[in-house]
Amino acid sequence: MTKQSRKNINRFQILLSIIMFVTSIMIYWVGINILRDQVFSNYFNPQKHLIVTQNPDTKEIYAWKDTSGTTYTMEDADVRNFTWGTTALLLFVMIFVAVVYNAAVGYYTKIVIKNEVRQKHLLPGMHWR
């Protein structure tokens, strides 16, 4: 592999890593909102719930209720499992981004190597497009 090809691959890797970083943050943010609104709907949401009990010093919320009057606490299964859901989402995003990154870098490297081989087989003075 030539120096120029290695330089092109390194540039591609840097650009792709920035894109994948931003994409992973966006996927995680959207996923958290979906988990909070649709999967774990009893998790405290200030737009849908009213605070019942709260620590006045730390502002930690101990209990809240929804519009139907049902009271929820941190011990409820739906609320307690939210951390497991977010952990699973984080693992999914990390694995997905790693697989896409490795596949894209591998594909781009193959293209660069294929172009190098084609360049070597051309007659001097000819340029492959």
* Residue range 57-107, pLDDT digits in tens: 998 999 999 888 889 988 888 888 988 999 999 999 999 999 999 999 999
Does residue 128 surpass a pLDDT of 60? no
Residues of the chain by 3-state class (helix, strand, coil), percent to 5: 65, 10, 25
Reported pTM: 0.76
Distance CA 100, CA 91 (A): 14
Q: Domain limits of the chain?
A: 3-120
pLDDT at residue 124, rounded to an integer: 61
